[in-house]
Chain A
Amino acid sequence: MSSSTGQVQQGSQTLEASTEHGRLRILGFWIFLAGECALFASLIGSYLALHGQTAGGPTAQQVFNLPMTGAATVALLSSSFTCVLAIVGMQRGSRGAVTGGLIATILLGLCFMGFQVFEFVHYYKEGFTFTNSAFGSSFYTLVGFHGGHVTFGIIWLVALLLTTMRRELDGDLASRLYVGGLYWHFVDVVWVIIFTVVYLMGKMG
């Protein structure tokens, strides 16, 4: 049923995988995410190696604030839930669910970023900066890189929201929404690893 021009698929295919172009877009994006795994792994590895090198400055146990990190985590996990509602809504052909889910995801993403900015400012005031130790450099590089991904994700979701509001929900837009959702969930997966390895294991010493 498929062709290089993107014929419609019948049967059990969901809307985002209804054209060949859409399926290739999704497969390509999964490959990109596999590459992102290697990128974050190298940053996490560097952090694990350097987190003990505090150069007389504050340690992870002294600076990390678990309630603040916990609140940020709940916000990001909740955004993953609202994002999947948008994707399920897209698969069911409900534009209302897509726009509502995307707006909630964007707001929760902004909430997470607010926590992160507040956290970084708080740490800076405590004397824990990017330049005062290898621990500081590796921490801000890793967590900042993740924050950069969340920021990019928010911009992407805003663009998808605007597109959804002024376009029909067709196979092309569905696959764009789907890869945007995959990106957002991936950022959440990375955060699960970061809060476990960096914050929780850092706090226990």
Chain B
Amino acid sequence: MEPDSELMQVGAREGEELGDPELLRDTGRHLAEWAVMIFLTLVAFAATGFHWLSVPGLVVVLLVLAAVQVVLQLVRFMHLDPRREGMVTAFIGGGLGLGIIIALSVAYLVYTFHS
């Protein structure tokens, strides 16, 4: 690993020299994304706390807001690019899809058992 480390350190130093404007640009983008997430969270809490909608409508709105936040986290903060990283997308997409099926199945199973 030694030769690699040496070359990587060179890469890191080069990055530091020319990195500042790009780092600032990336920071600005992520700051905007963070602001969107905070806004969506505040909307979700306010809609629930102040009873803006009827229960069925609120459930739909909350699930949509949560889905948007999950996608934002995956694509922007976790840098998931489905076009370049098909296998990773398949794994995490499979995990999330299976997660939804498991959660609903367990809930349905236990609910019907109790009722």
Contact = CB atoms under 8 A, between A and B. Distances in A.
Contacts of B13: 93
B30 A85 contact: yes
Interface range on chain B: under 10, 10 to 19, 20 to 34, or 35 or more?
A: 35 or more
A53 B114 contact: yes
A74 interface: yes
A196 B63 contact: yes
B1 to A, nearest CB: 6
Contacts, number: 202
A165 interface: no
Contact of A38 (B26, B41, B98, B110): B98
A106 interface: no
19 contacts: A7-B4, A15-B8, A18-B11, A19-B4, A26-B88, A27-B88, A30-B88, A38-B102, A42-B106, A49-B107, A50-B110, A66-B48, A70-B45, A81-B34, A84-B77, A169-B8, A170-B4, A192-B70, A204-B48
Contacts of B101: 41
A122 interface: no
Interface of A: 5-8, 15, 18-19, 26-27, 30-31, 33-38, 40-42, 44-46, 48-50, 53, 66, 69-70, 73-74, 77-78, 80-81, 83-85, 87-89, 91-95, 97, 168-172, 174, 181-182, 185-186, 188-189, 192-193, 195-197, 200-201, 203-205
